[in-house]
Amino acid sequence: MTQQGSVFGAMLREFEGAARILNLEPGLWRMLTHAKRQIIVSCPVQMDNGEIEVFTGYRVQYNVTLGPAKGGIRYHPGVTLDEVTALAAWMTWKCAVAQLPFGGGKGGVICDPTNMSRRELEALTRRYTAEIIDAIGPDKDVPAPDVNTNEQIMAWFSDTYSMHVGHTSTAVVTGKPVEMGGSLGRREATGRGVMITARESAKHLGFELTGSRVAVQGFGNVGSVAAELLALQGAKIVGVTDWKGGVQNPTGLDIPKLIAHVAEHKTVLGFAGGDALGAADVFKLDAEILIPAALENQITEDNAGDIKAKLIVEGANGPTTPDAHKLLHERGVFVVPDILANAGGVTVSYFEWVQDRHGYFWTEKEVNERLEAKMVEAFDVVLKTAQKYKVDMRAAAYIVAIGRVATVTRMRGMYA
């Protein structure tokens, strides 16, 4: 299903370690390392110049043992079936770690949204939705925003689905505008979860967040919210990078001003409140905490040795390669894995789905309180599992997740 060195191959390596500790039966092992469904669609779109472009889209439903598939849709030139399959697998384990009644899914379209007009993006979204419509729904598969997609994309997705089924269906996607049934607190949820797991990790490691230095790779939704919330906890954000470059200030960046700068210029580059920082140099900064919140495979064997942080909290999906993780573990770096650290987003997506289905909505305070309880509980379970089996947090998170999915798979039995 995959080649060695692929993103999915990296997931399989992490899976294998936990599966061996669990003594997972060979049959279950095979079931849990194969995607239930991989959909490839062609999406013809008439562009603004009158030409017709055909975009390739994917939707992977990796495992639906615990409930409907759940996972985002990304628009990016580098989207591949291998990547989407790996991300769907990670969503399976992430939902299981957070004890949510969801399986794992993921979608993607090969495109460059930065070179597309609003009309072209709407046309692509509606065509992609129509092409996968038989496979999605509130009880089947519930998409959400991901890289280069947002509330507006979800609004178009929801409307297209609703038009096809003949009634308004708010629960078919999450991450929608609040006016359309979105949840308060959803946009900040992933970054808030990163902050919560960083705080709990600092408690465990015996240091205070107040005064701690933090470096952030990636200043999109996750990185910017995590930075803002950590700064409110008293941490100093000493360096930030994005797709164009970076900025550093050893005394701490003014995060609200940096967020305003990014809103205007679409990059942290050129921010007056600090000095320029090379994109690769964020890993070399003197900081207690590092938050990789960009794309996968950013921390590798080549740069893991540069990292000075004693705590890494993975805001992105799969930012650390297995070989790099091994090097970091050997050096005593405490890594909070993606399937735990960034589970805040899917947790509040679950809250949104619940609110949509009940037609009753919570206050932002209620959402944040419920998220806090969920994230702290998940962190504690993973930490106790790590201590029980004498493994790192990544292996422990996989042990918890695979154990939960395997248990329910055994209970449900084999359909013949």
Q: Which residues are catalytic?
A: 106
Return the bridge partners of 70, or none.
104, 142
Contact between 343 and 98 (Cβ < 8 Å): yes
Which has the closest alpha carbon to 210: 221, 198, 219?
198
Contact between 74 and 60 (Cβ < 8 Å): no
Alpha helices in 77-185 (DSSP H): 81-97, 118-131, 151-165
User: Which two structure tokens, joined as six digits, stand for 264?
Assistant: 């205007």
- Which residue is listed with tokens 């399989």? 12
In 6-102, at which residue ranges do the beta strands (DSSP E only) sit? 37-46, 52-63, 69-76
User: Which two structure tokens, joined as six digits, stand for 138?
Assistant: 């509130």
Residues 6+ apart with CB under 8 A from 365: none
Contact between 144 and 59 (Cβ < 8 Å): no
Return the bridge partners of 74, or none.
108
Return the sign of the alpha-carbon dihedral for residues 59, 65, 68, 73: negative
> Helix, strand, or coil here: 240?
strand
**Regarding beta strands 213-217 and 289-292, do their DSSP bridges make them parallel or antiparallel, or are they unpaired?**
parallel
Return the sign of the alpha-carbon dihedral for residues 91, 340, 371, 408: positive
